[in-house]
Amino acid sequence: MKKLLAFAFFLLLSVSCTYHGHMTPWGPMQYGLGGIVLWLIIAAIVVVIIVAVVGGSKTSTEGRETPLDILKKRYAKGEISKQEFDKIKKDIT
């Protein structure tokens, strides 16, 4: 993900500072409507990257074991008996 962000940053930097092969200190804004459209495209790319990064960092319940899953594993391993399994299952559900 860091490589993608670095690539996007340098891509945006190069697009904002060059126009038809000429380096300018103002970026594409000096070219009127075309510059505004280019800045809107750049802004859209930034928003998409931010949403991808923030959306990917949310914790999900997938991959988390429920107490019942843990109980089933313990029973399958033979750590607890059928009576203990039934008692604990009744307690947690």
Give the residue from 16, 14, 42 showing the smallest Cα distance to 30.
Answer: 16
pLDDT tens, position by position, 50-69: 888 777 655 555 668 889 99
More confident residue, 93 or 6: 93
Q: Quick one: average pLDDT of 70-86?
A: 94
Say if residues 93 and 67 touch (Cβ distance below 8 Å): no
The residues spanned by each domain of the chain are 2-56, 60-93
Question: Above 70 in pLDDT, residue 85?
Answer: yes
Mutual angle of helices 82-92 and 67-77, in 10-degree steps: 180
* Mean pLDDT on 2-9: 68
Q: Is the pTM of this model over 0.75?
A: no
Q: Please report the pLDDT score of residue 46 as a whole number.
A: 85
pLDDT of 27 strictly over 60: no
Distance CA(68)–CA(89), nearest Å, equals 7
pLDDT for res 19: 52
- 74 falls in which pLDDT band (50, 70, 90)? very high
